[in-house]
Chains A and B, each alone.
Chain A
Amino acid sequence: MSDATLPRTAWRTPLTRSVAIGVAAALLLASLGLAVFSERAARQEILRETQVQAEILAATVAAPLAFDDTTATQEYVNALAANPSIEAAAAYSGDGALAAALKRGGEPPPAQAPARMARVGGGHVLVAVPVVQGTTRLGAVYLRVSTEAPLQRVMRYFGIGVVVVMASLLVATLGVSEARTREAHKRLQAEIREREKAEEALRQSQKMEAMGQLTGGVAHDFNNLLMVASSGLELMERTSDPQRRARLAQGMREAIDRGASLTQQLLAFSRKTPLKIEVVDLKAQVDRMRDVLDRSLREDIQVEVVAAPDLWAVELDPAQFEVALLNIAINARDAMPRGGTIRIAIENLWAEGDEAKDLVRVAISDEGEGMEPELLSRVFEPFFTTKKVGQGTGLGLSQVYGFARASGGETRIDSEVGRGTTVSLLLPRSAKPLPRREVAAPARTGQPGEARRVLLVEDDDRVAELVQEMLIELGYHVERVANASSALSALQNGADPDIVFSDMVMPGEMSGLDLARRVAEGWPGLPIVLTTGYSASAAAATSEGLRLLFKPYAMDALAAELGAAIHGQAQTAAE
């Protein structure tokens, strides 16, 4: 990554404001230099031309000068008048006296023959050459040619000068504004990153707030199911009627299942997840929440879901939606201290007007105390709460508001004192189809262990005992060790299991994850399945692509996972 970004910054950095101005200035200087150069070249050219002209004149007036034909000399000199830039021309006889002259402005030619010369200056080119025939010097000629007048020169360069100046200005302006834009962009990027971080933190704290609310209900539930389990066990000990024992076992089983699903939800809920937008069916989403809602509310509160048929799909983060729904429901609960019904109505709203979008409305109504209108305007503000200290943080509805905005929708709140409150989530309809949910394959019936050997790594003796029972029941031979390092030494000492099944969090220096890595290095063909109840550990394991069984698990889930691990590994080995 850094390799890719470095060269980009390397070439981007130079285009700063000063560089842009520098480039413009360089452009100006270069043009000026060119102008001076071409000016010099032009002068040299005029000088050269004038010299040639003088030599030609010298050759033609040689004979007339020699034989004193002033008329002819004058005619030759006059012939130069065809060149408009010639200001003066003259021919001199052998003794230096003026023989013929042409004067067209400015000073007349010198009266005496000047010495040989060729120079540029003062807007003139002055050239004098001797007239020589053979080796005999017969006289001299003199020419004065005007270079362009300064004004003419300025006019000649003016047009191009304007263009160059404009171009330089343009370069400078563009460069400066580009540099400014880049700086602004950089600042904006930094700000966006900061905000993303802050929002992430806010989301998490909002979730934790909802969690706190949940925990009360969940603890209550857990007590109930523990009650079922403990009284069930007690009753089982006192009866030998197989039918009654089976019924009690069934009751305990159900209580434990409910507890397991509750903890699953709590874990899923508290897991720190980045915003993940999905296309969802709101009805299904709400149904999935029913359990959690029932438990986090009180017994005297009923939840009623009224969903219109053929609901449109919406795009949102399901986890955030759950938190939002929970937050609203908890507020509704607290508004009904004497109990009542929470009604969740879901319906499609067709767009009205050109600008409007099709929406799906989720309206959560209570039969509670209601709120004063002046409070209504403030309920979505963070940390605004009507609850007593210790009962609420004031983050609940602000999460609802943030979630709705993030999903492209909005929130409405309607309340009437004494009649109740309705909070509506208006979520835009999604044009995308619902993802086809894979129908969860029915858990495969426990494959017989086929007398395979399992190395079980588990620190808790009671859990280990139970799992061992389950594995034996499934037809596995089990060897159990208490921690990861014991497992490693067992492997090194020749234990040759078909699979390793290990807990993740264990006392000792090595975790289940470390063990999995060591096994993958030292025994590449040996499958390993990890198990944990901690969401953080689970995330670490799945990110490394390891097989994972979430605690608590049922026997067929254990059978399926172990079977799949053994067969998957066997397949890989066969390939």
Chain B
Amino acid sequence: MALLGQKRQRTGATALRRRFRAGIAVVVAASLAAPAFGQAAAAQPGALEYAVKANYLYKFAPFVEWPARVFASAASPFNICVLGSDPFGRALDEAVRGQRIEGRAISVRRLRSAADTGDCHVLYLGRQSPQAADQTLKALRGTPVLTVTDAGQGVQGGIVHFVLVEGRVRFSLDPNQAQANGIVLSSKLRALAAPTLAR
């Protein structure tokens, strides 16, 4: 993505147009907990990188539209599930604490088996065998679940795919798969995504 370097020098107006055409990397902002997070993330990818990703998991929600039937009732929580090895530790629980999606509480579930994905709205696939991941993704095809894979966990093929470019957490999107699963991705989100080719 040599684009990134070029882009920095562009004026706002042209950049705005380019953004919708090409999509661009998401920058790990300093707005999380530590002000100097950018440098910190570049220096020690581990913990901070996953803190950012944990944050993003629930932040996708406003930009994604699920069919109404995925919620049993108005009081049903919004479920974020993690399948496979969990890289977040407490970071995910802290990120969602006190947050609500469309008035719903957010509940984090760590699944032991792919068979438990029935209630999930967002499913993060942690480190696991590519076959298992593929199988899970295939099984969920047609089910309104926003699947998230992570290059950092050696897993790919989700609707959202986290990548790390120049020390910054970015993501690409697979709109076809989203459509197949019956969920709608906001154009704002798609404008922000890295091209699928970057996978």
Contact = CB atoms under 8 A, between A and B. Distances in A.
Interface of A: 59-60, 62-64, 66-72, 74-82, 93-95, 97, 99, 133-136, 138
A68 B26 contact: yes
Given A133-B62, A133-B63, A136-B101, A63 B12 contact: no
Contact of B186 (A63, A77, A82): A63
Nearest to B191: A63
B54 to A, nearest CB: 13
B180 interface: no
Contacts of A95: 31
| Pairs of residues from A and B, 5 with the lowest C-beta to C-beta distance, nearest first | A68-B29, A78-B12, A133-B62, A79-B12, A63-B188
A72 B17 CA distance: 11
Given A68-B31, A135-B103, A75 B63 contact: no
B192 A75 contact: no
B59 A67 contact: yes
B90 interface: no
Given A62-B188, A63-B192, 20 more contacts: A63-B63, A63-B188, A66-B59, A67-B26, A67-B59, A68-B52, A69-B25, A69-B26, A70-B27, A75-B10, A75-B15, A76-B12, A81-B12, A93-B29, A95-B31, A99-B29, A134-B102, A135-B102, A136-B61, A136-B99
Interface string B1-32: 00000011011110110010000111111111
Contacts of B31: 68, 70, 93-95, 97, 99
Contacts of B102: 134-135
Given A63-B192, A68-B29, A75 B62 contact: no
A392 B95 CA distance: 134
B16 to A, nearest CB: 5
Contacts of A76: 12, 16
A64 B30 CA distance: 13
Contacts of B105: none
Given A75-B15, A78-B11, A81-B12, A134 B27 contact: no
B189 interface: yes
A99 B171 CA distance: 20
Contacts of B11: 78, 81
Chain A facing B: main interface SS = helix
A529 B56 CA distance: 130
Contacts of B24: 69, 71-72
Given A72-B19, A134-B62, A67 B192 contact: yes
Contacts of A135: 62, 100-103
B7 A71 contact: yes
Q: Quick one: which of B19, B29, B61, B103 has the most chain A CB within 10 A?
A: B29
Interface in B150-199: 171, 186, 188-189, 191-192
B32 A68 contact: yes
B123 to A, nearest CB: 19
A82 to B, nearest CB: 6
Contacts of B63: 62-63, 66, 133
A67 B56 contact: yes
A133 B186 CA distance: 10
Contacts of B186: 63, 133
Nearest to A77: B12
Given A68-B29, A134-B62, A75 B12 contact: yes
Contact of A71 (B8, B59, B62): B8
Q: Quick one: which of A67, A94, A134 has the most chain B CB within 10 A?
A: A67
Interface in B32-83: 32, 52, 56, 59, 61-63
A368 B8 CA distance: 129
A62 B61 CA distance: 13
A206 B11 CA distance: 108
Contact of B28 (A68, A77, A79, A99): A68
B27 A75 contact: no
27 contacts: A60-B188, A62-B188, A63-B188, A64-B192, A67-B59, A67-B192, A68-B26, A68-B31, A69-B24, A69-B25, A69-B26, A69-B29, A71-B8, A72-B19, A72-B27, A75-B15, A75-B19, A77-B12, A78-B13, A79-B16, A99-B31, A133-B186, A133-B188, A135-B62, A135-B102, A135-B103, A138-B62
Nearest to B13: A79
A69 B27 contact: yes
A443 to B, nearest CB: 118
B5 to A, nearest CB: 11
Nearest to B16: A79
A133 B12 CA distance: 23
Q: Quick one: which of B10, B13, B32 has the most chain A CB within 10 A?
A: B13
Contacts of A78: 11-13, 15
B147 to A, nearest CB: 18
A134 B31 CA distance: 21
A436 B103 CA distance: 117
A60 B12 CA distance: 13
A563 B10 CA distance: 125
Contacts of B188: 59-60, 62-63, 133
Contacts of A63: 63, 186, 188-189, 191-192
Contact of A68 (B7, B27, B61, B62): B27
A24 B138 CA distance: 86
Q: Quick one: which of B7, B27, B31 has the most chain A CB within 10 A?
A: B31
Contacts of A71: 7-8, 24, 27
B29 A70 contact: yes
Q: Quick one: which of A60, A64, A95 has the most chain B CB within 10 A?
A: A64
A99 B32 CA distance: 12
B93 to A, nearest CB: 18
A430 B32 CA distance: 116
A69 B30 CA distance: 10
A78 B8 CA distance: 12
A60 B187 CA distance: 10
A67 B168 CA distance: 11
Contacts of A82: 13
B194 to A, nearest CB: 11
